[in-house]
């Protein structure tokens, strides 16, 4: 992936050099030309780097969406006159294998207001999560699996 990105930048700068025009629009045209050239050379690489860049962008947007939604839920719960929450400590078994994937999941869960990871098992497969308001533990686990875990897997595999 890094080699493809470097090659794309080199093509963009070569395009600017050949036209003797060092402006932003000329760079963008060269960059798009580089993408087309890399698409033509797809058989040399199993996966074009743009797919991974798109997956990273989707993960960032997912985090931003979850931050906004969960912040709203936490503020609404705190400002309500009566405290009507159902805190829970849940055992969550993850499908992620590498340390980096598990660390990313833990970071995303801790950054999301209303939840924090209390402990990780020795094999990095089980997380103990404290959540501020849980109606259905199975739904909470499914939500983590369908959002954060799936997005992390798209980035790493």
Q: In the prediction, which pLDDT does 41 show? A: 86
Report how far apart the first and last C-alpha atoms of the chain are (Å, whole number).
12
Q: Which two tokens stand for residue 79?
A: 């400002």
pLDDT tens digits for range 14-72 = 999 999 999 999 999 999 999 999 988 888 877 788 888 899 999 999 999 999 999 99
> Are 134 and 126 within 8 A, CB to CB?
no
Neighbours of 149 (CB within 10 A): 19
* Whole-number Å distance between alpha carbons of 48 and 52: 8
DSSP annotation of 119: E
> Are 55 and 154 within 8 A, CB to CB?
yes
pLDDT tens digits for range 82-138 = 888 899 999 999 999 999 999 999 999 998 888 999 999 999 999 999 999 899 999
3-state SS class at 121: coil
pLDDT surpassing 80 at residue 1: no
* Whole-number Å distance between alpha carbons of 56 and 71: 22
What is the pTM for the complete model shown?
0.79
Q: In the prediction, which pLDDT does 68 show? A: 93
């Amino acid at each position: 992936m890094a080699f493809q990105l470097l090659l794309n930048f080199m093509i963009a700068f070569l395009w600017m050099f050949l036209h003797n025009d060092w402006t932003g629009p000329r760079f963008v045209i060269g960059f798009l030309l580089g993408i087309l050239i890399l698409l033509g050379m797809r058989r040399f690489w199993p996966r074009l780097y743009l797919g991974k860049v798109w997956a990273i962008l989707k993960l960032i947007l997912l985090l931003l969406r979850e931050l906004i939604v969960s912040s709203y839920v936490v503020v609404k719960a705190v400002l309500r006159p009566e405290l009507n929450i159902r805190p829970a400590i849940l055992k969550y078994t993850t499908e992620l294998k590498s340390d980096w994937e598990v660390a990313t999941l833990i970071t995303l869960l801790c950054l999301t207001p209303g939840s924090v990871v209390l402990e990780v098992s020795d094999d990095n497969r089980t997380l103990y999560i404290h959540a501020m308001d849980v109606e259905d533990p199975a739904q909470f686990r499914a939500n983590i699996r369908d959002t954060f875990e799936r997005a992390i897997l798209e980035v790493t595999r």
